Chain A
């Protein structure tokens, strides 16, 4: 893999840098309407040429999706603004954009459903459904509490936001010699491969997917999209390489945004801050189709809603609702930040109601021993970590009137079902392939560090290769704070198998034997548990007279198990903190009532700039996990912990109850 030197010299090879002989550029013609009947389409490649349904979407996939799934091109209706209607091609990108004018579509606009209330109230978007409820799960058990002193109810909304890596989606497909070869910016080559096989109806041995340098992803690039299948189809049809590069505008309108979650929560508590029960309704804006993470999101949020706390009674009604927006996708945290926001906001509210310190309420409710929640999640003891966090973050050193926001959370990484890897030693070099693909987390660092220790060889002899589905049979993907954990575990396991084999054949292991020999091991190393870890944040902020929030300090304290590559751990935490700040203060994909997309640029979408950064403090606990390398999950921690702590800091600075993200200035001065 290319690394830091290539980054600073401009020599990375991202997907848009690939050029092939005879390559066609693809431009997608999209519905401008959030909901419309399509009476006719003339020109371009369209649903009359290719009409299959979405298969495989990676992160959050359970195999139990019911749909309705998205078709690769809109057919009789367009269900969201940005849905692909046709595709055109050209020898250059300018030519292909010009050709978009040749497509004529006769639309009959319909009244779209653009929010959760309308989705509940109005008739179904899809004729095949009885209502707009795509999926409903009840978690925990109904209960009533006689001796509670306080019952508090509140309602919260986290608006949809775009993942917005600086490099959007993109791929090059080349159908050659009966095989579809695909180079793609991504997080999981295997998920893309099964999506292509499924939508194009090709057997696995006729599709090969290669990873290229990837300019960020944050959930965006884990699974399948219509554009990928269309590019593959076109390459097969025209017998030429086909390239598609997403524009930012397309990203904002037609990639899968994250969040879009409402929670209506009631807690019952005693005056001393002990929470006796939580009832909630969680509503997820699924967008126009099922067969996406939206089917899993509500259940996942409900499952972990009580976070690190031991709360004896929980009942959650979790629903995914259809709207006329692009299907929901995972964005860094993917359900975890949403769950934590609902719980932590209620704890802060309870503090205001009782006059207790919010941190003391957290201590009162933290688990003093392993605890199985009514929703079925088992959490480890959490109180001692919280005590450490309060100290390490310096919470008690603040004196009135200065009061910081504080958050405490449980990170449930996607450690299950494990990860695939391959190690090949040949000609004195060690090459590694991983099922989860780096998009900026520096997987090559932990691969080198772990394997040089296992094999006792110079890290310079070890390379992480670009993922390639022909080189590695089975793989999962990079998401859910999993890669260092389960990817790291897989390569250690394989390295140890090689060492064992050498010991058996040669009587002992020595690095020279390894480097002189030829060894090749690959496997999917399974891990079926969720390895929970804890984290906490402290944030301070000011609000000026215009309602602008200035974040002053952002402190993090996370249990990372063991920091495999300290500078990456620090970088991941600070980068994630900034995304947490972005979600809380600026980021949103918004529409007018009639379904017009109002977010026209990456700046409108609210990406924070360098001027917005606070002072960061990064600390971590290293309580080793059960993995041989000791590491725990990390990547999503800041996007869970920061919005909740910042929301409290704003509440303290402004005196306004914070219920929604992003927190807009007009709300704070209104």
Chain B
């Protein structure tokens, strides 16, 4: 059944007609054609499809597109400012938090959520927050290091802003 939905994705309003059974991940990838959100499983285990919905990390394969009606969504494409990378993205590059890159969008979006809740997460907290994101390549160590490094980069950026404001 066709349904009309509208939501805000990466700061832009979209109006769409979608089939009511379509998963949010398919709506994002196939209707809005933002392909950075990945699909890695069919049982909501892998986290490759993680996006932010109303401020919380959500596996976009666990939600129907129609359930996102009226909500605010951020995907991997929405965290860069023009060509300026988000500190989390910089941190993943500097600490090589990926090999094949397939899990990376989901990892970065989970990090985005974690670091907006916890400024200085411990390694144990990082591991816990990431327990729903699978990576087959890295053995997670470089991902955890990247997230820790990202929290440092975000601190120093905040300090920079404070200094500039003074």
Contacts and interface: CB of A to CB of B under 8 A. Distances in A.
Contacts of B131: 609-611
Given A602-B134, A603-B43, A576 B139 contact: yes
A637 to B, nearest CB: 13
A164 B75 CA distance: 25
Interface string A130-147: 000000000000000000
Nearest to A11: B36
A167 B102 contact: yes
B77 A9 contact: yes
B166 to A, nearest CB: 32
Contact of A577 (B48, B100, B139): B139
A500 B36 CA distance: 45
A575 B22 CA distance: 35
B144 interface: yes
B137 A440 contact: yes
Nearest to B88: A8
Interface stretch (B52-60, B90-98, B155-163): B90-98
Contacts of B138: 571, 574-575, 578
Task: Classify the interface of chain B: helix, strand, loop or mixed.
Answer: loop
Interface string A220-243: 000000000000000000000000
Contacts of B34: 10
A216 B134 CA distance: 12
Interface in B131-153: 131-144
B141 A10 contact: no
Given A166-B134, A167-B100, A440-B137, A5 B93 contact: yes
Interface stretch (A12-20, A151-159, A359-367, A458-466): A12-20
A565 B19 CA distance: 48
Contacts of A609: 130-132, 134, 140
B98 A166 contact: no
A480 interface: no
A610 B135 CA distance: 8
B136 A610 contact: no
A216 B137 contact: yes
A387 interface: no
Nearest to B78: A10
B14 interface: no
Given A577-B139, A610-B140, A616-B139, A7 B101 contact: yes
Given A166-B103, A610-B127, A8 B19 contact: no
A427 interface: no
A607 B38 CA distance: 18
Contacts of B135: 166, 610
Interface string B96-110: 101111111100100
Interface residues of B, number: 55
B25 to A, nearest CB: 11
A202 B148 CA distance: 53
A16 B108 CA distance: 20
Nearest to B77: A10
A476 interface: no
Interface string A1-33: 000111111111110110000000000000000
Residue of A93, A165, A572, A609 with highest tally of chain B CB at under 10 A? A609
B136 A165 contact: yes
B42 interface: yes
Contacts of B100: 165-167, 214-216, 439-440
Interface in A150-187: 164-168
B40 interface: yes
B139 A574 contact: yes
A576 B138 CA distance: 8
Contacts of A215: 38, 40, 100-103
Given A165-B102, A166-B134, A601 B139 contact: no
A602 B132 CA distance: 12
Nearest to B132: A609
B85 interface: yes
Nearest to B140: A610
A216 B36 contact: no
B117 interface: no
Nearest to B91: A8
Nearest to B124: A611
Interface string B30-49: 10001111111111011010
A607 B139 CA distance: 11
Residue of A166, A215, A248, A572 with highest tally of chain B CB at under 10 A? A166
Given A8-B104, A571-B96, A578 B127 contact: no
B12 interface: no
B76 interface: yes
A577 B36 CA distance: 28
B56 to A, nearest CB: 19
Nearest to A601: B43
Contact of B48 (A166, A247, A603, A607): A166
Contacts of B119: none
24 contacts: A4-B92, A6-B101, A8-B98, A165-B100, A167-B102, A215-B40, A215-B102, A216-B99, A216-B100, A248-B40, A249-B43, A440-B99, A440-B100, A567-B96, A571-B96, A571-B138, A577-B139, A578-B140, A579-B136, A602-B43, A609-B130, A609-B131, A613-B127, A613-B144
Given A9-B89, A602-B46, 6 more contacts: A4-B96, A16-B38, A17-B35, A610-B140, A611-B127, A616-B139
Interface of A: 4-14, 16-17, 92-94, 164-168, 213-216, 218, 247-249, 439-442, 567-568, 571-572, 574-579, 600-603, 607, 609-611, 613, 616
Interface of B: 19, 21-22, 26, 29-30, 34-43, 45-46, 48, 75-77, 80, 85, 89, 92-93, 96, 98-105, 108, 126-128, 130-144
Q: What are the 4 tightest A-B residue pairs by CB atom distance, in nearest-first order?
A: A10-B36, A215-B102, A440-B100, A7-B101
